[in-house]
Structure 1
Amino acid sequence: MLEFGRTLLRWRTRHCSRRVSTWTPLATAFNAPPARRINFTHDDVGLFGMPELRSFEGFYLLRDNVESRTQELISEATSDQRRRKMVDIFDELSDSLCKVADLAEFVRIAHPQSRYTQAAEQACISICGMVESLNTHKPIYKALSHVVDHGDKLPTSEVDRHVSRLFLFDFEQCGIHLPEEERMRVVRLNDYILQLGQKFMSGAVQPSVLPRSQVPESFRNYFPTSGENVIITGLCTNAENVQMREAAYRLYLQPSKSQEDLLRDLLLCRHELARSCGFDTYAHRALKGSTMEKPEVVREFIDELSEKLRPRADCDFALMSQMKRREGGKADARAEVWDTPYYTNQLRRQLFEEHANEFLPYFSLGGCMEGLDNLLHALYGIRLQNTDLKPGEAWHNDIYKLAVVHEREGLLGYIYCDFYERVGKPNQDCHFTIQGGKRMPDGSYQLPVVVVMLGLAQPRWSGPTLLSPARLDNLFHEMGHAMHSMLARTEHQHVTGTRCSTDFAEVPSVLMEYFAGDPRVLRTFARHFQTHEPISEDMLRRLCASKNLFAASETQLQVFYSALDQEYHGASARHGQSSTDTLRSVQDHYYGLPYVDNTAWQLRFSHLVGYGAKYYAYLVSKTIASWIWQTYFEANPFNRQAGEKYRAEILAHGGAVPSRKLVANFLQREMTPSVLADSLITEIDTDESKIKDLMITRT
């Protein structure tokens, strides 16, 4: 028995060795569970290599240090003997605060130990207090305002002047330039807006609890009950029963007076805040300094895109109606708003995903990381190198650390990969900046440090973590943010990497999704994690086509959401019209399916809080990314010349150059609403043609 066990062990060892022999070291590392590290030396370097954070108490030291440094920088900025450019002093002030605030915010969210999360939360509160104090510090505001209005006494560049104006705008967001009584009103409005937003978001996710008597008898059996109440916890978008989908939509989205009051007050307070700060509407305030610059430009873009989308979206809805009639046997059935997710998934399964999870074995985490590494090397000449973590450097034992190394420039920065789900960890895929890059006084560069967080399943002894196509897209998306941080080389950390306008920050990450959906890229790494067989050409075609199914109607939905957000934060905010009446009007104009009486889905649309007047940003980012893809990478996704040009003219600048100027210069064409709309329509038509060809070949 013992000998058999030894023989089995030897076979497994030989088998595993043969299985991973064709993976790169990077892929091998990510295809195996992270090694548990035993600290034999007890030489704890602290979280992220910061000696102050060898224990949670280090947050108190960091807080005290930044408070002391803040006072020194304020004195320097307001001194007649100032020897540095004003923008450099402000950028160091921003850098000092961000290094603690960004670090503390991440630790507060992600660290598994309560002592660390509590200390980090206290640090966040302290930094917020310092920022609020700075926002009311008139001497430092006047010093900066004088430099912006009259120029610095030291030589400055156009980038310096642009960043100085950004700092000044940040100041004036809080009304420091206003008379004291009006400034205090702005402070109160900001506080009230924050409270209203928190309450609205909380209410948006609460289940609908309705007395049985108010629920039609035909709907009651679809949902759980508690006593005499029926409880609806969400939209049943994937339910096969059409009545259940309809019931969930009608009942979960019933109007709520409390939510309506919160939304009305939120929009009104935002409008009053904008007026107090000298803007016509809150949308004008939110879009200042953005890629689109003004809400009038956003509306023109939305209208141009809406007009071109309508006939294409109508074709999508007609196909969904045909599917509904075939499924239900009713000749007059038509697609409704509660049907679109269901039939999108149905058609995707029928045409592209005949076998559940058939793509999973071809996308091991290690294989995907290898694919990313090879792509980034082809485009930018960089490599992702798995790096050993020192004792105490990570917040959990399943973290990877990547060094981003350029073939000529050397080390560009570090990416910490927190990829696996765990108890207490937020269920979201996101990118955190821990330290922004900037040029140091001695000419060296402060290296960027970021965290990429995913929620993947832990690898098992029987094999690596496998990614669905959607998870693959998310990995490339978040690594796109990370590369924006790594490849930027700005003078000032205040505008490095993703610290740019909201409607431009998503461009690099969305562009990476185009690479993740290109068969030429997938072909380089999509292979079975056990047999190493490459994914078949038929599977590749189906996979890439499935990502663009019903693109016209899905884009039309995003146009509708964006238009509604703009309407709420535009002039209509002061008219007192109910948010549902506004919704009905906007939906009739911008969406191909009608409004459903006695529903109010906007009262569950929490993005109105976080993206107030900026929901359009993803749509514009996708449009710009599509334009860049078509112009530079569609012909050859591994084009080094195009990659280096993209880095030099887009990624390297972060927010140091106005994003509208960056895009226009890079694409050598004025970024008009019409040009943007045409770019996205071209992509939709191309994808639709590919889908039709595939449908013909498969039938």
Structure 2
Amino acid sequence: MRSSRLLLQRSHALYRRSVNTWSAVGAAFNVQHQRFEHLQKNGLFGVPELSGPAGFQMAQHQALREAEFLVHKACTHPPGAVTVETFDQLSDSLCRVADLADFIKVAHPDAAFREAAERTCVEIGTVVEILNTNVDLCQSLKNLLGNEAVLATLDSDTRRVAELFMFDFEISGIHLDYSKRSKAVALNVKLLDLYHVFLSGSQLPNAIDKQVLPEHIRHCFSIDGNRVQIGGLHADSPNELVREAAYKIFLYPNTSLLLCLDELLACRHELATLVGYESFAHRALKGTMAKTPETVMKFLKLLTEKLSDRTSKDFKMMKEMKKKTHTTNPEVMPWDHAYLSSAIRTEMFNIDPSIYSPYFSLGACMEGLNCLFTQLLGVYFQAEQPKMGELWSEDVRKLAVVHETEGVLGYIYCDFFRRPDKPHQDCHFTIRGGRLRDDGVYQLPVVVLMLSLPPPSGRTPSLLTPSMVENLFHEMGHAMHSMLGRTHYQHVTGTRCSTDFAEVPSILMEYFASDYRVLRQFARHYQTGEPLPENLVSRLCESKRVCSAADTQLQIFYAALDQVYHGKPQYRSTTDILREMQEKFYGLPYVNDTECYRKPLPLKTLSMH
């Protein structure tokens, strides 16, 4: 602990020599990582077995042994609160390994770790599906829920969690005969494999001969010999030809992925009908606030009607802006949406990100979040010194979330900076859920926030654009949801709630990211210490209304496409469905020979989660 304090003091001093004085939290994010090779070797997230890829096999074996014991306990113990607690322990024992592996398989820079984690995900996922069709296990829960006298002794949380576990059994086909239950398990296992293949393939770049591209734009892409690698849409490029080329090449149909998508959708539909649902959409929505696909589509159509006039005005503004760029194609195309929206905002309100970024060093933003949570919740961040081997990348930071009277609430690992082979996505991963253990001690939640921010360089800290700040606050909303839940059962902790409610805390946090009363407490120029002028914040807030209808309409299109793909079979290609949905719900034309599988379909949540 002493060396940890010395580190924070040294980091603090380094930053003070620049301009401002931050707390240890702010300083920890504004300086480059310092290595501590002398620290004792440990495993990932402090799990001793995970000091190497082979450790996943050991962790998996231990989890399965514990699960075997807990299944026996649940099936033999008289019905009562202990039944629900045992089910939750069973879920926790598997999730602690599966959730950790689920993160490592996408985030670890070492392919050996990623592959070992992927194998563990598949193995435990298979066990989960088998358990969700275990008749004896389900019967123990039925004995509880069917006993009114015992139910009367349970608190409302325990009853609700018992009902949720029963719901998991029902959607997995527990009511079927042995043959059909076995088929349901096989379909679920097949879906795990299909989704892995689909997701992995959809994230790979497309490569073409560099001669296909005009010479003057080749430098905008990654070149490997005679091949150009295009791994994204380059939607913010001011060069229309770059945007168009990236869109058409990155989204060019991949035959094997289209076949995988067809098989994935067919398999999901087969599973849903096998267990008694009209479609996979009906099965997936059963446990949400929306309840049915009909309700969802009614909402999407109503929202489209309400936004129609505003959306048309937004696209008209984009068309006028495009004329100013001396384009060869005056029509607004899908690759223009993001760039033209940004250009309009910049022209109307002069909100070039470079004006704002100097005020939003990552350290300043973390300081702001720290102050906000302290003032609102009596909770603060404490920079932790991780043990050697605990992290998967040396630029990850670890925070303890501490309540002023209750102590440590949990831990957040901040994987914020870009690096090769790291997914370009902002997301929150639950590594371990919070729950009250048998010994009365609360199991502290552990989460990871993964962003794609520019790393600090020399004496220049990581500087964020306003959209990056908003994303940081959004993801921190998820993290604090996990920290503050303090539920008795891990099955319902934090973001393990109804899917359509899980975004509420994170969306709420976005409002703080654009409120001057919050920003004035931390947004200061990293060199001069000058506070962010209020008029810049006002302009930023006004600019967010520009093209917001068109932006929303794009999300409606994605949602509608998801619903139709997972509805009753259409007996036509996914490309034809995509074309129809884009023309019906978006407002910009479909481009031939492009696909939407770069927008990953939602993975079926493992029931034990």
Shorter-chain TM range is 0.7 to 0.9
Structure 1 window deviating more from structure 2 (335-344 vs 145-154): it is 145-154
Query: Given the two structures, how large is their TM-score scaled by the length of structure 1?
Result: 0.75
Q: How far apart, CA to CA, are the structure 2 residues paired with 1:486 and 1:403?
A: 10
Q: Is the 8 A contact 2:418 2:455 kept in 1?
A: yes
Q: CA deviation at 1:77?
A: 1.1
Match of 1:551 among 523, 548, 551: 548
Relative to structure 1, the CA distance from residue 397 to residue 198 in structure 2 (aligned partners, 3 Å threshold; closer, same or farther) is: closer
Q: Is the 8 A contact 2:469 2:513 kept in 1?
A: yes
Match of 2:164 in 1: 166
Structure 1 window deviating more from structure 2 (258-267 vs 218-227): it is 218-227
Structure 1 window deviating more from structure 2 (480-489 vs 267-276): it is 267-276
Match of 1:601 among 585, 590, 595: 595
The Cα offsets for residues 307-363 of structure 1, whole Å up to 9 and x where unpaired, read as 110000111111112222343389x94433333223113223334456662222111
Q: How far apart, CA to CA, are the structure 1 residues paired with 2:97 and 2:112?
A: 17
Structure 1 window deviating more from structure 2 (115-124 vs 97-106): it is 115-124
Match of 1:366 in 2: 363
Relative to structure 1, the CA distance from residue 23 to residue 567 in structure 2 (aligned partners, 3 Å threshold; closer, same or farther) is: same
Relative to structure 1, the CA distance from residue 543 to residue 165 in structure 2 (aligned partners, 3 Å threshold; closer, same or farther) is: same
Q: How far apart, CA to CA, are the structure 1 residues paired with 2:274 and 2:369?
A: 48
Q: How far apart, CA to CA, are the structure 2 residues paired with 1:247 and 1:422?
A: 25
Match of 1:636 in 2: none
Match of 1:458 in 2: 455
Match of 2:276 in 1: 278
Q: Is the 8 A contact 2:106 2:114 kept in 1?
A: yes
Q: Is the 8 A contact 1:66 1:96 kept in 2?
A: yes
Letter in 2 for 1:36: R
The Cα offsets for residues 605-645 of structure 1, whole Å up to 9 and x where unpaired, read as 44235489xxxxxxxxxxxxxxxxxxxxxxxxxxxxxxxxx
Match of 1:629 in 2: none
Q: How far apart, CA to CA, are the structure 2 residues paired with 1:26 and 1:444?
A: 27
Relative to structure 1, the CA distance from residue 329 to residue 96 in structure 2 (aligned partners, 3 Å threshold; closer, same or farther) is: closer
Q: Is the 8 A contact 2:248 2:594 kept in 1?
A: no
| 1:31 is the counterpart of 2:20 | no
Q: CA deviation at 1:171?
A: 2.9
The Cα offsets for residues 369-394 of structure 1, whole Å up to 9 and x where unpaired, read as 11001111122121112233345544
Q: CA deviation at 1:493?
A: 0.6
Q: Is the 8 A contact 1:274 1:281 kept in 2?
A: yes
The Cα offsets for residues 507-548 of structure 1, whole Å up to 9 and x where unpaired, read as 212221221122222121110112111112332233333344
Q: How far apart, CA to CA, are the structure 1 residues paired with 2:456 and 2:21?
A: 19
Match of 1:406 in 2: 403
| 1:586 is the counterpart of 2:586 | no
Q: How far apart, CA to CA, are the structure 2 residues paired with 1:240 and 1:263?
A: 33
SS of 1:345's equivalent? helix
Match of 2:86 in 1: 89
Q: How far apart, CA to CA, are the structure 2 residues paired with 1:55 and 1:461?
A: 32
Query: Residues 480-499 of structure 1 correspond to what in structure 2 (within 5 A)?
Result: 480-499=477-496
Relative to structure 1, the CA distance from residue 29 to residue 78 in structure 2 (aligned partners, 3 Å threshold; closer, same or farther) is: same
The Cα offsets for residues 390-421 of structure 1, whole Å up to 9 and x where unpaired, read as 45544444333322122233321222223333
Q: How far apart, CA to CA, are the structure 2 residues paired with 1:49 and 1:373?
A: 25
The Cα offsets for residues 445-490 of structure 1, whole Å up to 9 and x where unpaired, read as 2221222233333323323222222221222122111100110021
SS of 2:25's equivalent? helix
Match of 1:78 in 2: 75
Q: CA deviation at 1:106?
A: 3.3
Q: Is the 8 A contact 1:219 1:244 kept in 2?
A: no
Q: How far apart, CA to CA, are the structure 1 residues paired with 2:224 and 2:20?
A: 57
SS of 1:412's equivalent? strand
Q: Is the 8 A contact 1:200 1:606 kept in 2?
A: no
Relative to structure 1, the CA distance from residue 566 to residue 235 in structure 2 (aligned partners, 3 Å threshold; closer, same or farther) is: same
Q: Is the 8 A contact 1:235 1:245 kept in 2?
A: yes
Give the number of aligned pairs: 592
Q: How far apart, CA to CA, are the structure 2 residues paired with 1:329 and 1:453?
A: 37
Q: How far apart, CA to CA, are the structure 2 residues paired with 1:525 and 1:87?
A: 45
Q: How far apart, CA to CA, are the structure 2 residues paired with 1:58 and 1:202?
A: 23
The Cα offsets for residues 645-669 of structure 1, whole Å up to 9 and x where unpaired, read as xxxxxxxxxx99xxxxxxxxxxxxx
Q: Is the 8 A contact 2:133 2:185 kept in 1?
A: no
Aligned residues: CA RMSD: 3.8
Letter in 1 for 2:586: Y
Letter in 2 for 1:514: Y
Query: Given the two structures, how large is their TM-score scaled by the length of structure 2?
Result: 0.85
Relative to structure 1, the CA distance from residue 384 to residue 601 in structure 2 (aligned partners, 3 Å threshold; closer, same or farther) is: same
Letter in 1 for 2:556: V
SS of 1:328's equivalent? coil
Match of 1:303 in 2: 301
SS of 2:86's equivalent? helix
Match of 2:4 in 1: none
Q: How far apart, CA to CA, are the structure 1 residues paired with 2:274 and 2:58?
A: 39
Match of 2:9 in 1: none
Match of 2:317 in 1: 319
Structure 1 window deviating more from structure 2 (361-370 vs 19-28): it is 19-28
Match of 1:328 among 323, 326, 329: 326
Q: How far apart, CA to CA, are the structure 1 residues paired with 2:250 and 2:400?
A: 47
Q: How far apart, CA to CA, are the structure 1 residues paired with 2:115 and 2:63?
A: 19
Kindly, what percent of the aligned residue pairs are identical? Answer: 46
SS of 1:357's equivalent? helix
Relative to structure 1, the CA distance from residue 36 to residue 588 in structure 2 (aligned partners, 3 Å threshold; closer, same or farther) is: closer
Q: Is the 8 A contact 2:80 2:150 kept in 1?
A: no
Q: How far apart, CA to CA, are the structure 2 residues paired with 1:204 and 1:424?
A: 14
Q: How far apart, CA to CA, are the structure 2 residues paired with 1:550 and 1:543?
A: 13
Q: How far apart, CA to CA, are the structure 1 residues paired with 2:228 and 2:48?
A: 55
SS of 2:501's equivalent? helix
Relative to structure 1, the CA distance from residue 477 to residue 611 in structure 2 (aligned partners, 3 Å threshold; closer, same or farther) is: farther
Match of 1:528 among 525, 530, 534: 525
Q: How far apart, CA to CA, are the structure 2 residues paired with 1:241 and 1:424?
A: 26
Letter in 2 for 1:577: R
Query: Residues 618-657 of structure 1 correspond to what in structure 2 (within 5 A)?
Result: none
The Cα offsets for residues 118-152 of structure 1, whole Å up to 9 and x where unpaired, read as 65455445433533442343211222233334458
Structure 1 window deviating more from structure 2 (266-275 vs 252-261): it is 252-261
Q: CA deviation at 1:45?
A: 5.7
Q: CA deviation at 1:206?
A: 6.3
Q: Is the 8 A contact 1:85 1:152 kept in 2?
A: no
SS of 1:526's equivalent? coil
Q: Is the 8 A contact 1:197 1:609 kept in 2?
A: no
Structure 1 window deviating more from structure 2 (399-408 vs 368-377): it is 399-408
Letter in 2 for 1:180: Y
Q: How far apart, CA to CA, are the structure 2 residues paired with 1:377 and 1:440?
A: 27
Q: CA deviation at 1:570?
A: 1.9
Q: Is the 8 A contact 1:371 1:525 kept in 2?
A: yes
Q: Is the 8 A contact 1:429 1:478 kept in 2?
A: yes
Query: Residues 410-429 of structure 1 correspond to what in structure 2 (within 5 A)?
Result: 410-429=407-426
Q: How far apart, CA to CA, are the structure 1 residues paired with 2:230 and 2:62?
A: 50
Query: Residues 512-527 of structure 1 correspond to what in structure 2 (within 5 A)?
Result: 512-527=509-524
Query: Residues 373-452 of structure 1 correspond to what in structure 2 (within 5 A)?
Result: 373-452=370-449
Q: How far apart, CA to CA, are the structure 1 residues paired with 2:234 and 2:51?
A: 47
Structure 1: stretches of 5+ with no match in the other structure: 1-12, 613-654, 657-699
Q: CA deviation at 1:192?
A: 4.1
| Structure ID, larger Rg | 1
SS of 1:502's equivalent? coil
